[in-house]
Structure 1
Amino acid sequence: MAGRLDRHTEGGTSYLTGGEGSPVVFLHGIPGSALTWEAVAARMQDQYRVIVPDLRGFGQSEPPVGDYYMEGQARAIVDLLDTLGVEECTLATHDFGGPVGLTMMRLFSDFTARELVLSDTNLFTDTYVPPPLRVAKIPLLNTVFFQLMVGNRFGLRMLYNGAVKEKETASWSKFQRHLTPSGMAMTRRIFQRSLADLEANYGEIERMLTDIQSRTLVLWGDDDLFFSTGVGERTRAAIPDAELIVFDETGHFVPEERPAEVTAAIRGFLRS
């Protein structure tokens, strides 16, 4: 990994930053933190100003006040960027960071994503949900299920074992850095809410895809436990100016599993 990034906090949102030049903002998913993109951002700071926030309630950021879901997280990031004087940037997202980023683009007219990077994310209302996860629609049972699955380290270790294919680069010891008590609780709440009603939660996101004007790079792992490469192909097809790169022998956490390759892909995309 290249040089270290500095950590700062503004208005309750903690973020890593470094470099000078055109800004690139990185948003993580769940479970995750700014560390999801750390290795990529550190490599890119030689040519770009990189900004890597912890979403509210994750990493070292304070818990959200009020809305913890897409709009609340989007507002916190837009507020941070406004404080930092960033109105236009390249926006790189992973997992839940995708709908957060698109919510920023949809709701905040003073924010512009010149280029957009989407990695292993869901932006659709009808994405396949494996049968065990359909318990999210059952009151009471869903709370118990998600507490067991993503509300504790044992469940998250099982998730890690299935979701990460390149375990040498994205080791369990590194992955555990995401698992703060607040981060685990937020992961459970967001996971549970997302699956409970995909139409209500993702309808506006899906409907905006054909109107995205930003040049878009879609990055995917060929062995993603949650979202198959078919979802990546569908994402590319839905956005007018998008291209797709699929990484072999790679799971869901592409920025952590393939940081050098992801860096090269983003650099090439921004140069083209």
Structure 2
Amino acid sequence: MTRVRVNGVDLYYEERGNGVPILGIHGTPSSAVLWEDAAVELAKHGRCITYDRRGFHRSAPPVSFDRIDLLEHVDDAAALLASLHAGPAVVIGRSTGGEIALGFAHHFPDKVKALVLLEPALFTIDPDAAAWASELRRRVLMKSGADPSSAAETVVRDALGDETWESFPDELKAMFSGTSPAVLAEMRGHGLDLSEDPLDLGEDELAGIRRPTLIISAEDSPAACRLVNARLSGALPYTETVFVPGGHLINPAHPAVLAFIDRITARPSSWEQS
């Protein structure tokens, strides 16, 4: 297993291909395991770097974190790129990973070449989406009070549906369930989508993220995800939007993503100086 120590934690990561760096940030609960097939395709278009975020799966410490903050994930992403001498990168974030990608672009704009946001979990941008996330937080806390290992399953069932959860092989269900301590640590921390105080980027802060951005929505996702994307498409300066079939688990190597990366790679670097 390939690991790098950053900010006091050992992160598991995988690297494929050459060229423009492409950083993949997974959602909650999840792991880079779910990005393996996509990473193979992305590596045909650049230097693809995927990793398990702190606390998740192969980056989980022997003793679970009590809390995990958004800024820790942001700093980890920056340190990972720095340790690999990679950047600026096309940053692809799915769900909570998309929220982290936005936080990363806000705090480290010089490390971002472009953004691909696969239904980012910035629920605070829309009142109805924020209410949906607050209700999900309540259900997760209620169910995990009796069984802490159920936290991840509760989130997956809400985001992807009961049928999708039941369709997963036992080993994948076990992987998800094993991330429950990290899910709860994020909920106890600051700034994550199911934290008590999630990230709230205002109009000026979003307008300051001056990077070309591809925003993808799925037809069968929770309505809250589409509400977020509609708001973001009007708030971020340079956006393209795409609707794809299926649910919230959007393919990071969807043809629209690959075409976007190729266009970004071919463009002059004037975007990075804006």
Shared fold, TM over 0.5: yes
SS in structure 2 of the partner of residue 25 of structure 1: strand
Identity of aligned residues (%): 21
Q: Which residue of 1 aligns with 2:261?
A: 270
1:113 corresponds to 2:112:
yes
1:103·1:205 contact (CA, 8 Å) conserved in 2? no
Q: Which residue of 1 aligns with 2:124?
A: 125
Q: Which residue of 2 aligns with 1:134?
A: 135
2:45·2:262 contact (CA, 8 Å) conserved in 1? no
Matches within 5 A, 1:148-227: 151-153=148-150, 156-157=152-153, 159-164=155-160, 171-173=167-169, 175-176=172-173, 178-179=175-176, 181=178, 183-191=179-187, 194-195=193-194, 197=196, 200-204=197-201, 207-225=204-222, 227=224
Q: Structure 2 counterpart of 1:28, which letter?
A: H
Q: Which residue of 1 aligns with 2:86?
A: 86
CA RMSD of aligned residues (A): 3.3
Q: Which residue of 1 aligns with 2:269?
A: none
TM-score (norm 2): 0.77
Q: Distance in 1 between matches of 2:65 and 2:157?
A: 33
Q: Distance in 2 between matches of 1:19 and 1:187?
A: 31
SS in structure 2 of the partner of residue 115 of structure 1: strand
Q: Distance in 1 between matches of 2:186 and 2:223?
A: 15
- Is 42-51 or 59-68 further displaced after alignment? 59-68
Q: Structure 2 counterpart of 1:163, which letter?
A: A
Q: Which residue of 2 aligns with 1:22?
A: 20
Deviation at 1:158, TM superposition (A): 5.5
Q: Structure 2 counterpart of 1:58, which letter?
A: F
SS in structure 2 of the partner of residue 203 of structure 1: coil
Q: Structure 1 counterpart of 2:232, which letter?
A: T
Deviation at 1:239, TM superposition (A): 0.9
Deviation at 1:91, TM superposition (A): 0.4
1:69 corresponds to 2:69:
yes
Q: Distance in 1 between matches of 2:30 and 2:131?
A: 21
Give the 3 Å change call, closer, same or farther, for CA 87–205 of structure 1 in structure 2: farther
Deviation at 1:20, TM superposition (A): 1.1
SS in structure 2 of the partner of residue 219 of structure 1: strand
Deviation at 1:133, TM superposition (A): 4.4
Q: Distance in 1 between matches of 2:141 and 2:227?
A: 30
Q: Which residue of 2 aligns with 1:252?
A: 248
Q: Which residue of 2 aligns with 1:235?
A: 232
The runs of 5 or more residues in structure 1 that have no matched partner are 1-6
Q: Structure 2 counterpart of 1:122, which letter?
A: A
Aligned length: 251
Q: Distance in 1 between matches of 2:199 and 2:43?
A: 33
Q: Which residue of 2 aligns with 1:8?
A: 2
1:17·1:51 contact (CA, 8 Å) conserved in 2? yes
Q: Distance in 2 between matches of 1:132 and 1:237?
A: 21
1:96 corresponds to 2:96:
yes
